[in-house]
Structure 1
Amino acid sequence: MSEEFDSKGMAMDLLHQLEDILESDALIDELGFIHPSQFSVLNEESGVSTNLSDEAIHQSTNSLPSSEGCSKQENLYFWNRDHKLGISTRAIVPLYRAAKHAFMTTLNQYRKCGKQSDKVVSCLPASASCDHLESILLRHSRSLLLLSCDFMTAWNCRKLVVSLKKQVSMFVDELLLSELVLSHSPKSEQAWNHRRWVIKSISTNCSNFKEILGKESELVEKIAERSKMNYRAWNHRCWLISYMTTGQVLDELKKSRSWAALHVADNCVFHYRQRLLQKIMDDRSGVEETASYGYGADISQALKDELDWNQTLIKRYVGREALWLHRRFLSTCWISNFLIDSGDGKEKIGMYHDFGTFIQNELSLLHSSTAFTDDDFADFQAQASYSASYMLWLKVQVPKPLQNEFLEKIRDVDLKTLLDKLCPERSSLFNYFIS
């Protein structure tokens, strides 16, 4: 029993050390869990001598139970320098247990305090006690969430306390906390949900809301660079579009282009660009603003630029399915928005001035995508397969009055032979598409 008591006491000491570190350095922006043997390496890389460990390294006064022969370095549990925090893997379990116990104990006291305040009207001591418990709750829940990012009760507790205070600075602190959580758990659904709750809460009364949106978009891009195919991060960025002005949407369209060109296999970034373009299509009132951002006199120019850029990427990066899926979206937008008037179904002059020019451009892309000499190169085979499937798909999207013209042009291309060779499982669809 005495050993168990001592273990709990030492774990609580570690928790107090962690919470003191977090409060002393409010600018910590990265968290990691490291093996005890790596502390000396971190010191060497950062130029910290062992004599200066009290400045950058925090050592517990009562070390955790360890086997005999453990070196002194293994008793170090926290490393904090240049706003980076490292926690020893040996301390995770006792820290989590101590943080959970402290949080749940304080939460129960806070609930009792709230019930007591409801019964006793104008009870200042009770109110003061609740305020004190709220600060302790925020302190313990922060430590708990850094150790267990999906602890839903802790997130909800913070929402409750912050929403009662209604202070913008506290909402900003929540963004900093969730960003710190995402630094080591970039796919934490609860952390991303918490950020959306914060942004929605301050959207109407924050003077620098536009700046916050810009930083959010940059955060997603930074996390996506480290965590590939992070659907949760990109879903958050798509959600931000609903709060953006037309000017911000166009800025995002330009800024995300370079990143997309370097990550052509990541369908998430192209889905994000599709949402941006869809926002422009839905907001026809932004035509004049579009012109001022260098996208031409109307929205159709922005779509044409995207089509031309997509074609460049397809030719440069062979066999990338995400690029062909993006082209399907772009072609659908052009046909539905500029080829056909949704009101009376009449033809309109689109970005390529006429339908024949548009189809000729797509056929030219098909020829360049199927003109390969090495049959054994899988990327070229995939490119030819995607291009042939794209042309069959395009036939379904073309309005009925123009399908005869489309079929006349496509009959010159032996798609059936190409499909039989590259993807026989799809060749059976050929007769259906051309019938």
Structure 2
Amino acid sequence: MNVRGDGKVKPSETVKLLKDSTRCMVIINADCYSALNTRKKLIIDNHIDPTRELKFIDLLFTFPKHTKHSTIWFHRKWIILRIQQHFSSNDISQWQYEINITRRVAELYPKNYYAWTYRHWILLNIKTDSVQSKSFFVDELKIMKIWVQTNISDYSGFQHLQRCLIRIGQYYDNSFSDFYGISRRDILNKININTQLQNRDLKKNSRSDSIVSLWYKEIQFTKDLILRYPGHESLWYHLRFLSFGWIWLKLSGYLNNSIEYSFNEIDENNNSINSITKKWPELENELEFSRYCINLVNQERSERMVIQKQNALAFELWISELNDRRKKDIKDLISKLADISIDSNYYIVQNKKYSS
């Protein structure tokens, strides 16, 4: 160690000591706030190259346990935001590199909440005003559709797939809403939706057709998965998201009485294992799909099929309430769920609510 005449360590040696010591501390414990904050200060003072710091984090992510620490993900996000001024938000190569990192981490920990949250953040930071952006979103959607087929119970994966759908929708229509901001009460009362419609001039065009086609195909895809892999609640929750979105599309003017017939071509190359998945997602057809799944359960009484029946009934109840069906129909569904669900007490209480 170099020491000045007054016995103090030279500034350059102090910086080197800080860089090396904090590096070791973070390798040992990726949740060490003090070490990461010190490294942030070194980056601000230009003692650490932020791009090299990203490489260092890449190294940390080769340790599976480090991928589960939120602090290291926030540190990476902070670095990206700092160097973002040097590349456009539509510099797809930079964002693609970040996506690849999260993909590798997801393979180490498929249900890594922080990695998936970071991946959502990447999508939100890519603007939707270029063809390159659309290609990125479409490619990410394709990747996610492959992913969920091999990770059926990964809720985080399905949520990211939903984010991809929304971003593609926002490419086609920049006023396309994020459904996470719309409640079931909004749908039932049609208050916020109708207020939005008064301020928008939604006309049927190729872009709105593209959104409807995107949603329709995803509903078919999800129903296929439900039939192929029975007993997975994650699939039914994804179908709820899609059904909720479909109703929003209808209320927002994307659908009209004749649009169904313009989508006949969608089915030509469809590999659905059953024609019931191809039906237009109106209420009666959704109820028919739920009952079809229940009838399959009655033919096979395995544990997973019993769970499938519970999920199908819960979906039928959910969409019935969303469409404001008769109280008697809803009470009947609640009674059926109370008979077979492990949460029977919850449904008994719900039944009393509808009886009052």
The normalised TM-score by structure 1 is 0.59
1:266 maps onto 2:151 in alignment: no
TM-aligned CA distance change 1:356 to 1:221, over 3 Å: closer
Question: Is structure 2 residue 294 aligned with structure 1 residue 370?
Answer: yes
Mapped partners of 2:13, 2:281: distance in 1? 71
**Structure 2 residue 250 is matched with structure 1 residue 339:** yes
Counterpart in the other structure of 1:422: 340
**Does the Cα contact within 8 Å between 1:339 and 1:350 map onto a contact in 2?**
no
SS in 1 for 2:67: coil
For residue 348 of structure 1, report the CA deviation from its aligned partner: 4.1
SS at match of 1:203: helix
Higher strand share: 1
Question: Computing the radius of gyration over CA atoms, which structure comes out larger, 1 or 2?
Answer: 1
Encode CA deviations 1:44-103: one digit per residue, 9 max, x unaligned. Answer: xxxxxxxxxxxxxxxxxxxxxxxxxxxxxxxxxxxxxxxxxxxxxxxxxxxxxxxxxx9x
In 2, the alpha carbon distance for the partners of 1:350 and 1:281 equals 21
Question: What letter corresponds to residue 340 of structure 1 in structure 2?
Answer: L
Higher alpha-carbon deviation: 346-355 or 223-232: 346-355
Residues 310 and 337 in structure 2, CA contact (< 8 A), matched pair in contact too: yes
Q: Deviations over 1:351-398 (max 9, x none)?
A: 757998522331232122112246752211111111111111112322
Q: Of 21, 27, 32, which aligns to 1:151?
A: 32
What CA distance in whole angstroms lies between the structure 1 residues aligned with 2:280 and 2:214?
20
Out of 383, 392, 398, which is 2:308 matched to? 383
What CA distance in whole angstroms lies between the structure 2 residues aligned with 1:307 and 1:283? 20
Structure 1 segment 191-340 matched on structure 2, within 5 A: 191-206=72-87, 209-246=91-128, 247=134, 248-285=136-173, 297-336=209-248, 338-340=249-251
Partner AA of 1:276 in structure 2: C
Deviation digits for residues 7-44 of structure 1, max 9, x if unmatched? xxxxxxxxxxxxxxxxxxxxxxxxxxxxxxxxxxxxxx
Distance in 1 (alpha carbons) for counterparts of 2:42 and 2:330: 69
Q: 1:341 to 1:251 in 2, by over 3 A?
A: same
Question: Alpha carbons of 1:244 and 1:419: their partners in 2 closer, same or farther (altered >3 Å)?
Answer: same
User: Displacement of 1:411 after TM fit?
Assistant: 5.7
SS at match of 2:85: coil
Supply the distance in 2 between the matched residues of 1:236 and 1:139 (Cα, whole angstroms).
27
**2:251 maps to amino acid:** I
TM-score, normalised to structure 2's length? Answer: 0.70
Alpha-carbon deviations, 1:160-180, whole Å to 9, x = none?
11122298xx21111111122
Compute the RMSD of aligned alpha carbons. Answer: 3.8
1:347 and 1:280, CA in 2 relative to 1: closer, same or farther beyond 3 A? closer
How far is the alpha carbon of 1:133 from its aligned partner? 3.0
CA distance in 1, matches of 2:18, 2:153: 44
Alignment check: 8 A CA contact 1:392 1:433 kept = no
Shift in Å, 1:431: 7.7
Residue correspondences, number = 293
Contact 2:30/2:72 (8 A) holds in 1: yes
- 1:103-114 correspondence to structure 2 within 5 Å: none
Preserved CA contact (<8 Å) 2:317 2:330? no
1:392 to 317, 324, 329: 317
1:78 corresponds in structure 2 to none
Instruction: Name the structure 1 match of 2:22.
Output: 141
Of all paired residues, the percent bearing the same amino acid is 23
Q: Which amino acid aligns with 1:273?
A: L
Quote the Cα distance in structure 2 between the aligned partners of 1:353 and 1:434. Answer: 41
1:179 and 2:61 are equivalent in the alignment = no
Given that 2:243 and 2:281 are in contact with CA atoms closer than 8 Å, whether structure 1 keeps it comes out as no
Q: Secondary structure at the match of 1:389?
A: helix
Q: CA shift at 1:141, angstroms? A: 1.7
Q: Aligned partners of 1:314 and 1:261: how far apart in 2?
A: 11
Unpaired runs of 5+ in structure 1? 1-101, 110-125, 288-294
Unaligned runs of 5+ in 2: 129-133, 176-206, 263-278
Q: Within 1, Cα distance between the matches of 2:208 and 2:224?
A: 20
The 10-residue stretch of structure 1 (265-274 or 421-430) with the greater mean CA deviation from structure 2: 421-430
User: Residues 206-258 of structure 1, C-alpha deviation per residue, up to 9 Å, x if partnerless?
Assistant: 36942121122122122112213211111111111111243122221122110
Q: Deviations over 1:296-351 (max 9, x none)?
A: 95212111121111111111111101111111111111111x21138xxx984597
Give the deviation of 1:204 after TM superposition: 2.2
Deviation at 1:205, TM superposition (A): 1.0
> Shift in Å at residue 142 of structure 1?
1.4
